[in-house]
Structure 1
Amino acid sequence: MSDHNDQHVDNPHKSFIALVADLAAISGPDGLTLREIRDRLDERAFGLMILILAIPCLVPALYGVPQIVGIPILLLAGQMLVGRVEPWLPEAILKRRVTKAWLERMADFATKRMGWLERLSRPRLRIFAEGWAERAAAFFMILATLTIVLPMTNTVPSVALSLLSVGLIQRDGLFVAAGATVATAWATALIIVGVGFFVGAGWAVSLIARFGG
């Protein structure tokens, strides 16, 4: 069990890019365990851990990785939904080590590719980014994750997860609302496509039965 008295005190004014850069900077030659990362992030651990898991899934038509990271994202979002304060992960996962090279790549990606998110996001509409809104955001994270694990459909729900995560980290209610909108629209689109496919398949089968019999 980690010693909470030794935990880093989170600076709520520090941006998510700075947080990722800090993780790379403080890591030793062997990197950091997920427990060390969680404890370092303190009150914004949920948002940043989900963001870190979602970033690799932004690559279009990715297969394999979304199906792997989807499970811990669901675990984390589920805990947010029920109001848990500190992220819980199985001991075996907490002991897993993230290499220094991977942390440095994450910091480099965040600095070069996600700077626009940081520039656009800021504390605003906080009623949509704190308290009850965190649980609502968790629901939309779960919705996005349930679609991220589908083959070849990972980019759009990953954008939703990134917007939701950044919104919670930066206390930006506008980003949270945007992420919820993207997640809902994408899930709705997939449902419409799925229903259309099954209706179309049934129609095709009935035509074959009528004219081919």
Structure 2
Amino acid sequence: MTENTRALSDVLDQLESSAHGDSIMVQEVIEKLGHKSFASLMLVFSLISTSPASAIPGITATVAVIVFILVVQMIIGRDCVWLPSFITHRRMSTTKLCKGIGWLRKPVGFVERFLKARLTFLFHRPWLWLPLSLILALTLFMPFMEIIPTSGSIASAVIALFAAGMLTRDGALVVLSLIFLSAVPVAVWYFGFGG
């Protein structure tokens, strides 16, 4: 397995090594992953929102705000991550965080076996602006998904796929995330008003 395809597990390792005490501040996560790690941070917070930690009230809305801010900065070409203090000072339970990381290990390990650099033109402008714009639009609806069970996790999974594609330079994963993104409204309607 190449270093590139280990990127997802490496992010989980870094996140787990930052967990200490009863809780951890978002600022500590940013410092551990690096101030230029837009994709890593996007992956981490979207994965938290798809894991059992998503049961924490308000986590979907918080993740939506974080991803929105990250995507805007990526679109305008900012080099370093900036997040407002009301987010960076927010604390997460390390017990729930580590439980979420443990839950994610198997699916992440499985996905990594299929990842490789391909369709890399999608990571250059203007191509990159399309998925970024769609992810940005998705984050605007995520806070409202708090009232519909599982819908927030579905949206977060789409963002995680996109971020994983960026980290591993796998354009096929980015395309897959956009396909799933188009299915989010259908899933929200089904779980919220159908079924």
Q: Contact 2:36–2:81 at 8 Å: present in 1 too? A: no
Count of residues in correspondence between the two structures: 182
User: Which residue number corresponds to residue 157 of structure 2?
Assistant: 159
Q: What is the rounded CA distance, in whole Å, between the counterparts of 2:19 and 2:51 in structure 1?
A: 26
What TM-score, normalized by structure 2, do the two folds share? 0.73
Q: Secondary structure at the match of 2:176?
A: helix
Match of 1:19 in 2: 11
Amino acid at match of 2:165: G
Contact 2:75–2:132 (CA<8 Å) still a contact in 1?
A: yes
C-alpha distance in 1, partners of 2:133/2:167? 16
Q: Which residue of the other structure, out of 142, 145, 167, is the alignment partner of 2:136?
A: 142
**Distance in 2 of aligned mates of 1:124 and 1:71:** 30
What CA distance in whole angstroms lies between the structure 2 residues aligned with 1:128 and 1:77? 16
Q: Structure 2 regions of 5+ residues with no counterpart?
A: none
User: For the Cα contact (< 8 Å) 2:11–2:44, is it kept in 1?
Assistant: no
C-alpha deviation, 1:161, in angstroms:
0.8
* Residue of structure 2 aligned with 1:70, choices 57, 64, 75: 64
Counterpart check, 1:108 vs 2:106 = no
Cα deviations by residue, 1:15-69 (Å, 9 ceiling, x for unpaired): 1222211231254436653333223323762222222222243369977432332
Q: Which residue of 2 aligns with 1:183?
A: 181
TM-score by length of 1: 0.68
Specify the code of the residue in structure 2 equivalent to 1:111. Answer: R
Q: Structure 1 pair 73/33, CA: closer, same or farther in 2 (3 Å)? A: same
Higher relative contact order, structure no. (Cα contacts within 8 Å, ≥ 6 residues apart)? 2
CA gap 1:108/1:35 in 2 versus in 1, 3 angstroms: same
Q: Which amino acid aligns with 1:46?
A: F
Shift of 1:122: 2.2
CA distance in 2 between counterparts of 1:56 and 1:13 reads 20
When the two chains are superposed, the root-mean-square deviation of aligned CA atoms in Å is 3.3
Q: Say whether 1:127 aligns with 2:133.
A: no
- Select the structure of larger CA radius of gyration: 1
Match of 2:80 in 1: 86
Q: Residue 162 of structure 1 aligns to a residue in which SS? A: helix
Ranges in structure 1 where 5+ consecutive residues have no aligned partner? 1-10, 198-213
Q: 1:160 to 1:28 in 2, by over 3 A?
A: closer
SS state of the match for residue 39, structure 1?
helix
Counterpart position of 2:49: 57
Where 2:34 maps in the other structure, the secondary structure is: helix
CA shift in 2, pair 1:112/1:80, >3 Å: same
Amino acid at match of 2:135: M
**Overall identity of the aligned pairs, in %:** 21
In 2, Cα distance between equivalents of 1:46 and 1:65:
19
**In structure 2, do the counterparts of structure 1 residues 183 and 21 end up closer, same or farther at CA, with 3 Å as the change threshold?**
same
- Correspondence for 1:170: 168
- Aligned CA distance change for structure 1 residues 21 and 106 (closer, same or farther; 3 Å): farther
1:53-91 residue CA offsets vs partner (Å, 9 max, x unmatched): 222433699774323322222111121122112211013
| Structure 2 Cα separation of the partners of residues 113 and 176 of structure 1 | 17
Q: 1:120 to 1:80 in 2, by over 3 A?
A: same
